[in-house]
Chains A and B, each alone.
Chain A
Amino acid sequence: MVSPLCWGCLTLLRQAPRTILPSPTAVSQAAAFHTSAAIYARVPAPRGRDSAVGYRRSTSANIKKKRKVSERARPPPVGERKALRKRIVLSNPNALEVEGMPELSEETMVDSRLRGTVVGLPVPMLDQLRAVQAFKPKQGWSIFRRPGTVLRRETLEMGRLFENISGEGEDRGVVIKRIISGQRKSGKSVHLLQAMAMGFIKKWVVFTVPEAGELVSATNSYAPLSDENPHLYVQNEATAALLSRTAAANKAVLSKLRVSQHHPTLSAAKPGMTLEDLAKIGVQDPASAWTVFQALWLELTSTSAVPGLEKNFTPRPPILVTVDGLAHWMTHSKYRSAQFEPIHAHDLVFVRHFLSLLKPGQDKPTLPNGGALLYATSTTTNPPSVYSFDVALKQVAARHAGVDPSSPEFPQPEAYSKTDPRVFEALSSPKPTAAKEGMLEHQVLGGVTRDEARGFLEYFARSGLLRETINDELVGEKWTLAGGGVIGELERLGRRVRVAA
C-alpha cells in the first residue's frame, strides 16, 4: 500500500486540524454565527507589554506618528565640509596630455603669435600661486591634465606692460592702476591670476587679497587701531594672513632684500635682516601684524636707504597688488563700533591702505619702484549692489577718457538717489603729477574673439573633452551661445558631454 505521506517534502506531517468533528472543549457552547469551524479562528495573542494600553492612552490607529530615530548618522568633523568645498584640484590624470603645449614664460607672455593658444602655468610656480590663493574652486582646473590659461588680447597687452615696467626702456618703473569689471564668468579672476603669474615670472613682489569680502563680513577679529585713532580699526589676523601669503609666495625675492630703513615703532625689525624674516615676525605675532605690514611696505616702496644702512640696500622690485571683489569694500562692513553703529569699510585700515593706493602719490608715485594695481570686481562671491560704486566706475572711465568733471557729459548720480560720498571720494583719482604714474582706469572684460575661442575649444578637443570636429561652424555656434565669447560660458559648453539621443 502506498503511504499517504510524500516522503520528499513531508508536508503532510503537519496535518490540518480536523474540522469534521470539533472537539467539544475547543468550541464554545454558544450558537456559532459563522458556518466555518471555530477552530479556524485566530487565537488571540497574549497581551504583552507592547499591546498593553495604558491609562488615558490613545487607542486609535497610529499611522502617521513615526518612531523617533535614535541612531543618527554622525555629521562629518568640523571643517571637513568647508575643506571639501574649498578644495582646489589642479590636475586630472584622466585628461589627455596636450602635445606641444607652450608654457607661460618671459617670451610667451608677450608673443602675439600665440594669441588664442592655451599656455600652461609653470609647475614650480603652482606652489606660489596656491600660496597667494590665485586659484578659485569653480574655475574648472580639475578637468585638465595641468593648469593652463588662454592668451587673450587683454593678457598679451598686460604682458607687454609688465615687460616694459621691468625692462630698461623709458617705461621702467611705471605704475598702472586698473579696476577690472565685466559680466559673470568673463574671466576677471583668471585675469588676475595671469597677472600674478607674470609678476612671479618677472620677480615682482605680489600682494593679493583673494577674497575682499572676507575682510568686511565680520569673520575676522578687529580692534581700534590706537587711542589716537578710535575710529579706525585694524584686523590683525587678516593682516597676518596677508603677510603669510606674501612671505610664502615671494620667498625667493624677499629673502634677498634686507631692512634698510628705520622702524622706530617696531623694535623687532633689526637692520640687515631679510624682508622675509620681517614678514614672518608679523605672522608669528599677529598683534604686531599691522605694524610689520607697514614696515614691509615702507621697505618695498623705498628708493634708497637711510644714511648708515646703505650696505643693506638693493634696488626694490616692482609690486603687484591684486584685489578680487572690490564692491564689498564700497559699503558698510558687518562690523560694529562700540556704540553699535556700523563701521564703514573704509574705516578698516587694511581696506583704507589698499584703496589709498588708487590715489596719486603726493610728491612721488604710490609705487616708486613701479608696479601694477589690479582691482577686480567679482560676481561669484555675492557682492553687494552699490549704486555709488557703479556711478563712480563710470566717472573713472570718463575721467580717463579726458572728460572734464565739471562738464555736463561727466556721469553724475541720479538726483535724489542715495549715494555714498566716501565711495566717490575713494575713486576720484585726478590725473597724477608724477610722470611715471598712470591714471586710474576702468577696464571692462568682455568676450573673447572667435579666433581666441577657436584656440580655446581646440584645447578642449586635444584634452579629450570635446569630441567634435572644431570647424568655423562649431566655433561660431559656441561663441554665440556663450553670449559673444564669454570665456566661462565657453568652458561650460566645452566640457558638456554630448550624449547621442
Chain B
Amino acid sequence: MTFESVFVLAAGLFSVGLFGALSQQSIVMIMMGIELMIGGIVVAAADFWHFLAPAAADGQVVIVAAVVAMAVEMAMGFAVTTALYRARQVDTTDMAQELKG
C-alpha cells in the first residue's frame, strides 16, 4: 500500500463525513459526520508521517491535536444539544433557525 492509496482512504473518510455533516438533520448525526472528517485527517497525518517525514515528530503531533479536537467536539456538541433540547425541545437543525438571517 502506497502513500497515494492511504491518502485516498483519508479523502474518502473526509468526504463521507462531509456529506453526513451537510445532509443530516439530527444534531447527533451531524456530530458523527464531523467525527468521520477528523478520522480522515488522522489517517492523512499518519500517512504523511510514515511515507514522507518519519524522522520528524510533527505528523504525530498533528494526530494528537486531531484526537483532542474529536474529544472537544463530542463534549461541546452534547452540551449544546442538551442546552438546546432543554430550552425548546429541539433536536434537529431545521427546528433551530432563530439566528437565520
User: Do A and B interact?
Assistant: no
